């Protein structure tokens, strides 16, 4: 009997001898993902800012589970989150100040 598992990212893997074997080759969306070394190192960014996971999540406006998943490599930041982390890498004080300020009424 073949045992299959649907992964959170949409991949289907076969469970065989305690191993997960991809059932289908990686889909084109995977090719768009950057290698791990090129992605923002979320843990390093957070530590440089001297913030806990909870504080970092609050400043970014995301659940703390998201930060944990990024740091543990379970998920990778995509789209706007990846762009925001790249900007934080260059100017964290400016980003955190902008995120904490209230928008002014026009």
According to DSSP, the residues that pair with 4 across neighbouring strands are 14
* Residue 27 in domain: no
CATH number at residue 89: 1.10.260.40
* 58 within a domain of the structure (yes/no): yes
Look at residue 16 and tell me if it is in a domain.
Answer: no
Whether 91 is covered by a domain: the verdict is yes
85 in a domain, yes or no? yes
Q: How many domains does the chain have?
A: 1
pTM of the model: 0.60
Q: Is residue 34 part of a domain?
A: no
Q: Does 106 fall in a domain?
A: no
Please list the alpha-helical segments (H only) found in the chain: 28-32, 42-48, 53-60, 64-72, 79-90, 92-100
pLDDT by residue for the chain (106 residues), tens only, comes to: 778 887 777 678 888 888 888 876 554 454 444 444 445 689 999 999 999 999 999 999 999 999 999 999 999 998 889 889 988 988 888 889 888 876 666 5
């Amino acid at each position: 009997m073949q045992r299959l598992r649907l992964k959170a990212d949409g991949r289907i893997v076969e469970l065989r001898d305690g191993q997960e074997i991809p059932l289908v080759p990686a889909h084109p969306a995977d090719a768009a993902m950057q290698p791990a070394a090129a992605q923002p190192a979320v843990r390093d960014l957070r530590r440089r800012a001297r913030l806990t996971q909870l504080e970092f999540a609050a400043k970014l406006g995301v659940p703390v589970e998201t930060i944990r998943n990024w740091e543990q490599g379970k998920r990778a930041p995509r789209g706007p989150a990846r762009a925001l982390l790249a900007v934080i890498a260059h100017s964290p004080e400016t980003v955190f100040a902008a995120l904490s300020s209230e928008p002014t009424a026009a």
